[in-house]
Chain A
């Protein structure tokens, strides 16, 4: 594709393009059906581009093993975007952050000889040819695929990279590698520090903007966090004056962490004001390329997540983890539709000749295409405030036209925003937002100006021009914000009242709805639709309960496991060197019966068993200052657990992922880190990854510590109909246990840790949900009152878990 650019915007095939992009993580949203669903919603919401990280570890779990099939088929993903006529921003890393384990770098790479991940150690630049060879191999797998797609519009190398000294050789080499594959679109790097890093080494300078990073603070009070965005044009122009302003990650949500606040809280806290202010402030700075990060949330399955985040990666994003349109999507849609209607790709900052109230912000931009001005007004006060004669609600921001010439009239000045415009050769209908506190001044073709109140009902309108076949015609129509929320623009028509629409014209409804449509030829039409599909709840009871993890029991044969070194300082050899990267890692060895005290440190959750008896089950997870914190435990050992000889110790450790590597070293060890007894024994440890789920009948001699609940269930056919959108969740809220790992049809789809996360409902991804399903829930934390196998079995016997629809929409 012919992609050029100048200081204002991208120029694609000779036309200026405003890039309205949103991020989707295909490694958290699975398979072609869901990709089509999410991208279709984005397209209908006015996005013209999808931003895609490519996650190296997702495709290359073991050295020389590559997987691009099924839900990892990026060619299919790119084709979905192409079919929807959407551009692609591709970000193949090699490092992506994205709160994925090790920032997307494959685990096996950590132990490769002479590899220095990202060419840096403790921030100091350390070039590694071995690392470069591996990443060339990765680029060599993915770049030839994207090269086949002419909807690629820009490509990012590395991600949020820096070194203590700011060396640029690595970035320059990546640039050359990409070009060597014949990729000719603009290349960029996104700078997390907005400090001009590598601005001269790439085509377009891009940056991250995240004013909201701590839900604990009130972003509406801590307005200083918007300083950079408020001065973006001035700041970035110091680094690069020849390329458009590009926010490669513009905040449209935020991730929740273990021990965090929960997505309901973050979503409510950010509200719709945040995305409104972010996006409109960016536009006020002349940004013509933005990417809402994230646009669609996702799910951390398998071992994808970094140690910081839990299963849901909803991100409080415009499209939720489950694919549901949220209020911030509706706000983004309003802005996107406005940008569709008026091309803002060539504007320049203009003088602001009016006074701006305290805690308010104003910018004026001169539009060189529409020959008008745009006023950007923002109110950060807790009360309604008037700026330049315009009333703004608290924490609102508006984009207002000034001297905007339409077909048959001119908007001289306005206190109301434009929603969108439909037009053909000589007619246009401009939809404005009703606004009870503001007015608009319009000049007709005869030069007569009239100021009219914008306090209007839905669809009240004014006509300008000659009401006959010749001459230009402009109709101004008001819509309320509420009506606009459920309004969708589709092929130069508007659909009012739908929960969402797909670009193919399908309309999604939840209840009986009178849907209104408008187009230039037919005007308004109404149709009533009555969905028939009801919400569904499937109660899972009478689980098949069995005990897993025979590894705990004394006498278990672990002779074939790998041996690891217990060092003189009682630290343990890391698991990488033994090729063990599993979430669950077993450690077994012999211990003397003289031990009375154990000092231990393990990441992140662990249990210690001696001769099959659990002596500690500990959630040791703590994350602070952007890193996990080690906890050192010292515990007494009751001598009664020992036998005269052949005493066996077993440690099971659950690691919640590697550091994502933004500010810390990626390869920090997981599993058992330190183990010291009062007898100073160096244990001949054996290790192995994964837990054993083999089905065993209950037996009183078993160690009753890890149990598995198993149940089959069916989803009725109607929920798989192509005209039904019905995401299902597994509700763990009423379960008595506090820690579990969930498998759907043998795919690990969730980690439930009640103490650590505000998540009790788990999405059952459509890719893995079949009509007939098997759910397995592995539990390894229970009440201390439960002593034996039968107690444990009884305790689990009455568990009730619901599988239910979160929403049900029928498509018409």
Chain B
């Protein structure tokens, strides 16, 4: 099993935040678990489409961090209570009305490769 159980790690995702934006797709995260370090944002998959590092950024505390620059030397420190937006910068028709499947794979320095699988409805507001 993952170091943090699935049902807990899913709490980090803000339900109902999946949306289209000018650059592509966005959704929001909030760390309600505890301080954590991400030393690699490997990919994000929406339904059948996989967004690679080049197309991913994470915007938090007014700073946009690009996935291809996140590393053990330059990790994301995701503090308790901290919020952020994951932005997928590719114009792809992968979102659908109704339930969308989202997979996020990232690296943690202690636990290694971790994957969150979750579902959300498209927010068209």
Asked whether, in the complex, the Cβ of B111 is within 8 Å of the Cβ of A228, the reply is: no
- Asked if A624 CB lies within 8 Å of chain B CBs, one says yes
* Chain A neighbourhood of B111, CB < 8 A: 625-626, 663
Residue of A nearest to B107 (CB): A625
B116 to chain A, nearest CB (A): 12
Binds B, one of A64-72, A109-117, A159-167: A159-167
B73 to chain A, nearest CB (A): 12
Bound complex: CA A213 to CA B3 (Å): 14
Asked whether, in the complex, the Cβ of B3 is within 8 Å of the Cβ of A626, the reply is: yes
Contact of A227 among B1, B8, B79, B109 (CB under 8 A): B79
Bound complex: CA A162 to CA B113 (Å): 19
* Chain B neighbourhood of A224, CB < 8 A: 35, 77, 79-80
Bound complex: CA A120 to CA B80 (Å): 29
Interface string of B76-117 (1 = CB under 8 A from A): 010111000000000000000000000000000111110000
Asked whether, in the complex, the Cβ of A123 is within 8 Å of the Cβ of B5, the reply is: yes
- Asked if A715 CB lies within 8 Å of chain B CBs, one says no
Considering the complex, which residues of chain B in the window 1-55 have a beta carbon less than 8 Å from any beta carbon of chain A?
A: 1-8, 11, 33-35
Contact of A193 among B4, B77, B80, B113 (CB under 8 A): B4
Contact of A166 among B7, B110, B113 (CB under 8 A): B7
Bound complex: CA A714 to CA B113 (Å): 53
With A224-B77, A227-B80 already in contact, the answer to whether A164 and B34 are too (CB < 8 A) is no
* Chain B neighbourhood of A165, CB < 8 A: 6-7
A211 to chain B, nearest CB (A): 8
Interface string of A216-234 (1 = CB under 8 A from B): 0000001011111001000
Considering the complex, which residues of chain B in the window 46-77 have a beta carbon less than 8 Å from any beta carbon of chain A?
A: 77
* Chain A neighbourhood of B34, CB < 8 A: 193-194, 227-228
With A165-B7, A195-B8, A228-B35 already in contact, the answer to whether A120 and B112 are too (CB < 8 A) is no
Contact of B80 among A214, A231, A625, A663 (CB under 8 A): A231
* Chain B neighbourhood of A197, CB < 8 A: 8
Q: How many residues of B contact A (CB 8 A)?
A: 21
Bound complex: CA A162 to CA B110 (Å): 19
* Chain A neighbourhood of B7, CB < 8 A: 164-166
Bound complex: CA A625 to CA B109 (Å): 7
- Asked if A512 CB lies within 8 Å of chain B CBs, one says no
A432 to chain B, nearest CB (A): 35
Residue of B nearest to A167 (CB): B7
* Chain A neighbourhood of B6, CB < 8 A: 123, 164-165
Interface string of A110-149 (1 = CB under 8 A from B): 0000000000101110000000000000000000000000
Interface string of A184-196 (1 = CB under 8 A from B): 0000000001110
Q: What's the count of A-B pairs with C-beta under 8 Å? A: 68
Bound complex: CA A162 to CA B112 (Å): 19
Bound complex: CA A248 to CA B1 (Å): 23
* Chain B neighbourhood of A662, CB < 8 A: 3
Asked whether, in the complex, the Cβ of B35 is within 8 Å of the Cβ of A193, the reply is: no
Considering the complex, which residues of chain A in the window 650-667 have a beta carbon less than 8 Å from any beta carbon of chain B?
A: 662-664
* Chain B neighbourhood of A124, CB < 8 A: 1
Residue of A nearest to B11 (CB): A195
B125 to chain A, nearest CB (A): 28
* Chain B neighbourhood of A164, CB < 8 A: 1, 5-7
Interface string of A663-674 (1 = CB under 8 A from B): 110000000000
Asked whether, in the complex, the Cβ of B2 is within 8 Å of the Cβ of A663, the reply is: yes
Bound complex: CA A197 to CA B4 (Å): 12
Asked whether, in the complex, the Cβ of B5 is within 8 Å of the Cβ of A214, the reply is: no
Interface string of A331-345 (1 = CB under 8 A from B): 000000000000000
Bound complex: CA A798 to CA B79 (Å): 57
Bound complex: CA A214 to CA B37 (Å): 12
* Chain B neighbourhood of A222, CB < 8 A: 77
* Chain B neighbourhood of A235, CB < 8 A: 80
Residue of B nearest to A238 (CB): B32
Asked whether, in the complex, the Cβ of A227 is within 8 Å of the Cβ of B35, the reply is: yes
B109 to chain A, nearest CB (A): 7
Bound complex: CA A22 to CA B49 (Å): 51
With A224-B79, A227-B80, A663-B1 already in contact, the answer to whether A626 and B110 are too (CB < 8 A) is yes
Asked whether, in the complex, the Cβ of A663 is within 8 Å of the Cβ of B33, the reply is: no
Asked whether, in the complex, the Cβ of A163 is within 8 Å of the Cβ of B79, the reply is: no
With A213-B110, A224-B77 already in contact, the answer to whether A123 and B35 are too (CB < 8 A) is no
* Chain A neighbourhood of B11, CB < 8 A: 195
* Chain A neighbourhood of B113, CB < 8 A: 625
Contact of A162 among B8, B35, B79, B80 (CB under 8 A): B8
Bound complex: CA A222 to CA B81 (Å): 16
Residue of A nearest to B10 (CB): A164
Residue of B nearest to A194 (CB): B34
Bound complex: CA A226 to CA B77 (Å): 12
Bound complex: CA A410 to CA B77 (Å): 45
B110 to chain A, nearest CB (A): 6
Asked whether, in the complex, the Cβ of B35 is within 8 Å of the Cβ of A225, the reply is: yes
B78 to chain A, nearest CB (A): 8
Bound complex: CA A222 to CA B35 (Å): 10
Most buried by A among B8, B34, B110, B112: B34
Asked whether, in the complex, the Cβ of B77 is within 8 Å of the Cβ of A625, the reply is: no
Residue of A nearest to B108 (CB): A625
Considering the complex, which residues of chain A in the window 277-301 have a beta carbon less than 8 Å from any beta carbon of chain B?
A: none
A663 to chain B, nearest CB (A): 4
A354 to chain B, nearest CB (A): 23
Bound complex: CA A213 to CA B110 (Å): 8
- Chosen A-B contacts, 25 in total, with CB atoms closer than 8 Å, are A122-B1, A123-B1, A123-B5, A163-B1, A164-B1, A164-B6, A164-B7, A165-B7, A166-B5, A166-B7, A193-B4, A193-B34, A194-B33, A195-B33, A197-B8, A214-B109, A214-B110, A224-B77, A227-B35, A227-B79, A227-B80, A227-B81, A228-B34, A662-B3, A663-B3
Closest 9 CB pairs of A and B: A123-B1, A625-B112, A227-B80, A164-B6, A227-B35, A162-B5, A663-B3, A228-B34, A224-B35
